[in-house]
Amino acid sequence: MHQQQALSASLEDYLEAILLLERSSRVARVSEIAGQLGVSRPSVTGALKSLSARRLVAHAPYGHVTLTVEGASIAAEVERRHLAIRDFLIGVLGIPGDRAEATACKMEHVLEPEILAYFVEYAERQSHDGSGWAARE
């Protein structure tokens, strides 16, 4: 996953959004990605060009968007980090779900990668130790 480090926070968010859309409707469309992320269609098109050049998505103009194997792997890791942080914020700190969701999205992109890895590992370990604080929504 060497390319993951080179991705901007924004491109990581695009990958995660595509992953979620693929799960719910098997394919992602530019308009759906724009709606999910609250961005314009031209912004999505620009991001898809960048992700396609990195071979992380497959996208034909006016067609569906799908993750490549590597893109899906990176998206799953982004989602894993996001969920671990969100669940920690809800389950341990008692932050309401909507605020925890928004805060987790910010935190996963501002923490140094090494610190983030420690945080996620700790949060996952704590959520699986039987204490029951995991807050999967």
Report yes or no: 2 and 39 within 8 Å, Cβ to Cβ: no
CATH code of the region 2-73: 1.10.10.10
* Domain edges within the chain: 2-73, 79-127
Please give the CATH architecture assigned to the domain spanning 79-127. Orthogonal Bundle (1.10)
pLDDT (tens digit, 9 = 90+) per residue, 117-130? 998 998 888 877 65
pLDDT digits (tens, 9 = 90+) for 17-59: 999 999 998 889 999 999 999 999 999 999 999 999 999 999 9
With a cut of 70, say whether residue 3 has pLDDT above it: no
Long-range contacts of the stretch 54-62 (C-beta < 8 A, 24+): 54/3, 54/7, 56/3, 56/15, 57/15, 57/18
pTM, to two decimals: 0.83
pLDDT of residue 125: 86
